[in-house]
Amino acid sequence: MRSPIETDAVIIGAGPVGLFQVFELGLLEIKAHVIDSLPEVGGQCIELYPDKPIYDIPAIPVCTGRELTNNLLEQIKPFGAQFHMGQEVTTLEKQTDGRFLIVTSQEQRFLSKTIFIAAGVGAFQPRTLNLEGLDAFEGKQVFYRVKNPDSFIGKRLVICGGGDSALDWALHFAGKAASVTLIHRRDDFKAAPQSITKMRALCAAHEMQLIIGQITGFESSDLHLNAITVTGIDGELRHVPADDLLLFYGLSPKLGPIADWGLDIDRKQITVDTACFQTSVPGIYAVGDINIYPGKKKLILSGFHETALAAFAAAAYLNPEKQIQLQYTTTSPKLHKVLGVGSSRFE
Ligand SMILES: Cc1cc2nc3c(=O)[nH]c(=O)nc-3n(C[C@H](O)[C@H](O)[C@H](O)COP(=O)(O)OP(=O)(O)OC[C@H]3O[C@@H](n4cnc5c(N)ncnc54)[C@H](O)[C@@H]3O)c2cc1C
């Protein structure tokens, strides 16, 4: 087993609020490790609306989910947070020395003095295809994410879904795989219009195939998946030979293990003290969409405010004897030092 990473702060969730928590902790010279179950940072902004405009971020009249995420990443650069992506935090336990032991789905362990839960609406998990026995092929011939694209080259691929992931991968593998069959339940796609046009052109050129229908069965022999059965909207059954099945039915958030960490929870959200955004366990803070308190509004700007108060509270928790002064980034030489900037933007 790998030895634990010892640190002052762990942030669970790399959504906009988790990212800004890095900034607020950084100003107080607290370094953080950030863990997220998704492979990419940005939380809902990237998973659910990367290209949609947001109009209510103070002083940014309009930006997309992706632009907001990129700006936050730029803003937190000086603080050198370490990211541990693609792993869900499964357990969180207080140790006898007062620190918290965190274990992730990749068996990475952390021993941290403080924890910031910025887990939004929970960890995003791929929606699975519920066909009895199909899970036996998961990770071998059935995939909900593409980790190693080269492993699909030359294969007979069946790709399911109507969003950007399904179409992007179908277009990517057309001409590289032995065959590409795209299956979607209706002839209406959520993917980018240019991808839909390209997909239809490839189908017309017989470089890939589109079937409108749903997977209702599969054929296998000797623990090997050979084909899938699709029931078309016309009710007709089709057998499609397949080496690999790539399923992109979207992601759904699940509160998951957070419910078992012994924190006070109200309607699937963590209750906090609004003076400091501490949970019912001292040293554990909850910020952003995951928390609940009277008047809570699930907005990014609310989450940003919460991170500042949580950071100040954590600084006092980590160093109870130290006086923590509020300083302005405009005028404080100390903050300029931690930000790695001159005292004027023109220096
Ligand atoms: C379509 C849409 C449009 C929106 N538009 C706006 C808008 O215009 N303005 C606005 O202010 N808000 C908007 N919102 C809401 C806004 O996106 C959320 O308030 C914001 O994303 C909350 O940020 P967060 O960091 O708290 O959580 P999230 O963005 O949900 O990020 C949480 C992260 O935590 C991770 N996580 C959860 N559990 C675990 C675990 N156990 N282990 C590891 N990782 C975990 C998740 O994978 C996720 O990446 C919109 C939301 C949607 C769906």
The pLDDT, as a whole number, for residue 125 is 79
Q: Ligand 1 pocket test: pick from 44, 49, 252 the residue with the most ligand atoms within 8 Å of its Cβ.
A: 44
Instruction: Please indicate whether residue 16, judged by its CB atom, sits closer than 6 Å to ligand 1.
Output: yes
Q: Exposure of 256 by Cβ count < 10 A (0-12 exposed, 13-18 middle, 19+ buried)? A: middle
The pLDDT, as a whole number, for residue 242 is 98
Q: How many CB atoms lie within 10 A of CB 314?
A: 28
Which of 57, 72, 255, 300 to mutate to test ligand 1, by most ligand atoms within 8 A of the CB atom? 300
- State in Å: Cα 118 to ligand 1 middle: 9
* Alpha carbon of 252 to ligand 1 centroid (Å): 12
Give, using CA atoms, the residue closest to atom 47 of ligand 1: 123
Residue 261 burial by Cβ neighbours in a 10 Å radius (0-12, 13-18, 19+): buried
- Summarize pLDDT for 294-333 with one digit per residue, the tens: 999 999 999 999 999 999 999 999 999 999 999 999 999 9
- Look at residue 182 in the predicted model and tell me its pLDDT: 98
Identify the pLDDT of residue 345.
53
pLDDT in tens, 201-259: 999 999 999 999 999 999 999 899 999 999 998 899 999 999 999 999 988 778 888 98
Residue 120 Cα to ligand 1 middle (Å): 5
Kindly list the averaged pLDDT for each block of 10 residues, start to end, along the chain of length 347: 92 98 98 94 90 94 97 97 95 96 96 98 87 95 90 97 94 97 96 95 98 96 95 93 96 84 93 98 98 97 98 97 93 94 61
- Which two tokens mark 144? 């909900």
Cβ–ligand 1 contact at 38 (below 6 Å): yes
Q: Which pLDDT does position 250 carry in this prediction?
A: 86
